[in-house]
Amino acid sequence: MYVKNKTIVVTGGGNGVGRELVLNLLSRGARVAAVDINESALSGTIELAGDKTGNLFCYVTDITDKEAVEIFSIKVIKQFGQIDGLINNAGIIQPFVRINNLDYSTIEKVVNVDFYGTLYMIKAFLPHFLKHPESHIVNISSMGGLFPVPGESVYGAAKAAVTMLSEGLRAELRNKNVNVTLIFPGGIETDIKFNSGAEKIKKGENDAKSAIIKPVKPKKAAQIIIDSMEKNKFRVFIGSDIKVLKFLFNVCPGFAASLINKQMKSHIPE
C-alpha cells in the first residue's frame, strides 16, 4: 500500500524509530496520527515536522488502557473518515536482570506495552480496516522475539507473542484487503534502554561506538519499514546483527546461544 494521501496511525511517535516513522510518512505525503504517552515527546516530533505539520495530528494515549484505545480509535476514525494503516511501534524493554530478580510490576508493564498494547490497537482498528479497499498493519517484533537473550526473557516473550500474533493475523486475513508486515529489528541506535528505565548509565553512553556490528540509525530503520509496507513484505529483518544471528541459529543453535550469553554477561547482575 503506497502511503501517499493515506492516513496512518503510528504508536510511540514521540521518539526514536517512531518519530522517524512519522517524519518519513509525512515526507511521502501521508497524513499521520501520532500516538504517545509522553506529550512533551510528541511536541518534539511536531517541531521536527517543519512545514509538514498540517498533516500531523498528535494524541496522548496510553495503549495499555483498552478503553482509552477504543475511545481513541473512534475519535480518529470520526475525525478523518478513514484510517488506512496502523504501525504498532511503541515498545519498552525490561531492566537487564534475570527472571528470578524481576518484579511483577515490571513484568506486567513490559507485557502490557509490548503485547497487549499491540493487540488492543489491532482490535480497535481491524473492523474499520476490513470495510475499506486496502489497509495495512505493521507490527514491530524484535531480535529478542526470535532468539533467547538472557536478562531480557520477559521482553523476548512479549515480542515472541507479537510475532505469533502477526503470523496468525496474516493467515486469518489471507485473501482479505488488509495486509500485515512483521518487522524484526536488530540493534537500533535509540534511547529505548533509558526511556524504558532499563539502564542507569548516563544517556548517550551506549555501545554504538564499540560494537563490531554497528547499530542501525533510526532514520534508516524507518525508511526500511515504510518501504516494506509499500512493497507488502511480510517478514523483514533490519540490521546485520539479526541477520548474522538468524544464520547462526539455523546452522548451529547451541553456538549461537552461547555467543549471546557471552555478549550479555556483563549487562546482567548476578
Hey, which residues are catalytic here? 155
Q: State the first-to-last Cα distance of the chain, in angstroms, to the nearest integer.
A: 48
**Residue spans of alpha helices (H) in the chain:** 16-27, 39-49, 66-80, 104-111, 117-129, 153-172, 192-195, 218-230, 240-251, 253-264
Would you say 114 and 158 are in contact if contact means Cβ atoms under 8 Å apart? yes
Neighbours of 153 (CB within 10 A): 17
Would you say 161 and 140 are in contact if contact means Cβ atoms under 8 Å apart? no
Percent helix, strand, coil in the chain, to 5, is: 50, 15, 35
